[in-house]
Amino acid sequence: MNEISQALQIDEGAPVAWHCHRDDSVGIAMRDLEKGEDVAISGASVQLLDAIPAGHKFALKEHASDDEVIRYGAPIGKASRAIAIGQHVHSHNLASALSGELDYGAFEPAPAASGAIERGALADWQGYRRADGRFATRNEIWLLPTVGCVAPLVEMVAREAAEIHRGKLDGIIGFGHPHGCSQLGDDLSGTRDVLAALCDNPNAGGVVLVGLGCESNQLDDLVALVPARSRSKLRTMRAQEAGDEREQLLSIIGELVEMLAPLERERAPASALTVGLKCGGSDALSGLTANPLLGRFSDALAAASGKLLLTEIPEIFGAEDALLARSSSPAVFSAGGELVNRFKRYFLDQGLPVSENPSPGNIAGGITTLEEKSLGAVQKGGRAPLVDVVDYGGTAELPGLTLLEAPGNDAVSSTALAAAGATMILFTTGRGTPLGFPVPTVKVSSNSRLAASKPGWIDFDAGRVLTEGQDAIDHAFADYVNAVAGGRPTQAERTGQRVISIWKRGVTL
């Protein structure tokens, strides 16, 4: 599905049009193309019947109404009207074919991937070894509120403590959220689960859980859910019981700083990395440059026995067959199919279509259907074996690729990745966003224009693949990831753009 059959280069070294896969019935404009322009692609010349914006599709063959349109070697929907060779292919003549839940059939062992990456392709890095043997990319103190009522307090005191103890740790951060009370059942459980899992992230060398006192999400219940290996780093405070809550929090933080400040980085193998994979604000190049770059890195990390996390379940709809085909066992195959169908049911129970995606920004960038978006998005996981499926608030424990339950929303899914143990997130984008999350979030632009226009947002330019070649950029990216793992701050860290967001699924009392 990731095979690139041809890219036509112009004098400046940038491609004019791209044919993603030999079976594709559309080409991709790599710059704005004029009506009447002749475009050479895959050994043929196509005269354009429409102007084609950069990143958008044009037909390479005739399509009758209801014919499948093929990109990445797979259907991305059906023609909603006849499409002539050279016409613009987008939302006016292409529609999603997604409907509801599917029967994914029986498990079949995946064939061995050809051209497997050898172990040792990724270098060691410098990390913090925790008492339980895990490695962290940062040595930080996190303040987490049990309930939204004390979220501003947590954020205010964290900022003050960060100034007091500047330079002693990698960070002291307060992560506010509005939940933890007026919730019931599974909704409240989800809030507890994800907060408890965040407490377990290795990057948090110390965690201060701050409660109000009267909330539904009681401190004792939350602490009981934190894995035993992380209990010793927890400190708690109930604001209603404290005298001067600010002074008490500053005192607690000071004790944690004294404990954590002497820790130094040491050599860590690639297998000690746990990386979350995310995309947001995608464009038509995301599936050509940035996501395949992450896919090749994922292959190398999986070969080194590192852990990878893939989520955004609604942005797998239409591409799940290819992902499930890499399942390591019948149990994983079954769990993956059940998770995708459960998420579809989540949409259908609200009376919403499962195809209500892409976003307006995606569409403006050239992505037409959810199938097209999904087929580009799943490339972040490369060819790594799918070894596990975990529920929201769960933790990745196995080397290889784990599928994590969470929606596509950037903040919600990235928080879930950190809660599942990711000590770094690789985040591809074609439109750009300044937002960062609890763990270092490397923003990877799909196009060089975005990287040049938003240097304060973007950490790595994957658009360089088009002019500098795949091998050179793969090596540069691996080096950059190692540097960030070893302490180089991301743009979001530099600007303080770090948040959490909890998935709210139930009623509010």
- What's the confidence (pLDDT) of residue 9? 37
Count other Cβ atoms within 10 Å, centred on residue 36: 11
Count other Cβ atoms within 10 Å, centred on residue 62: 13
Question: What are the structural domains, with CATH classification, of the chain?
Answer: 17-95 (2.30.130.110), 140-262 (3.40.50), 268-495 (no CATH)
- What's the confidence (pLDDT) of residue 11? 36
| 273 within 8 A of 423, measured Cβ to Cβ | yes
CA distance readout (Å), 501 to 314, 337, 412, 449, 497: 18, 26, 5, 30, 13
| Torsional sign, CA 28, 33, 36, 37 | negative
Measured distance CA(344)–CA(196) in Å, rounded: 27
The SS3 of residue 56 is: coil
Bridge partner residues of 63 (DSSP): 83
Instruction: Render each residue's pLDDT in the chain as its tens digit; 509 residues.
Output: 333 333 333 335 556 898 989 999 999 998 899 999 999 998 889 999 999 998 899 999 999 999 999 999 999 999 999 999 999 999 999 999 998 898 999 988 877 654 545 555 799 999 999 999 999 999 999 999 999 999 999 999 999 999 999 999 999 999 999 999 999 999 999 999 999 999 999 999 999 999 999 999 999 999 999 999 999 999 999 999 999 999 999 999 999 999 999 999 999 999 999 999 999 988 878 999 999 999 999 999 999 999 999 999 999 999 999 899 999 999 999 999 999 999 999 989 988 888 877 888 888 889 999 999 999 899 999 999 999 999 999 999 999 999 999 999 999 999 999 999 999 999 999 999 999 999 999 999 999 999 999 999 999 999 999 889 999 999 999 999 999 999 999 999 999 999 999 999 988 98
The token duo for 142 is: 């996190």
Q: 305, exposed or middle or buried, with CB in 10 Å at 0-12, 13-18, 19+?
A: middle
| 210 within 8 A of 154, measured Cβ to Cβ | yes
Residue closest to 71 by CA, chosen among 21, 31, 29:
21
Measured distance CA(370)–CA(361) in Å, rounded: 13
Packing angle, helices 245-260 and 151-164, rounded to 10:
50
Measured distance CA(298)–CA(380) in Å, rounded: 7
pTM equals 0.93
- What's the confidence (pLDDT) of residue 82? 98
Q: Could you tell me how many helices (H) and strands (E) the chain has, helices first? A: 14, 24
| 137 within 8 A of 424, measured Cβ to Cβ | yes
- What's the confidence (pLDDT) of residue 356? 79
Measured distance CA(432)–CA(285) in Å, rounded: 13
- What's the confidence (pLDDT) of residue 4? 34
| DSSP secondary structure code for residue 63 in this structure | B
| 343 within 8 A of 405, measured Cβ to Cβ | yes
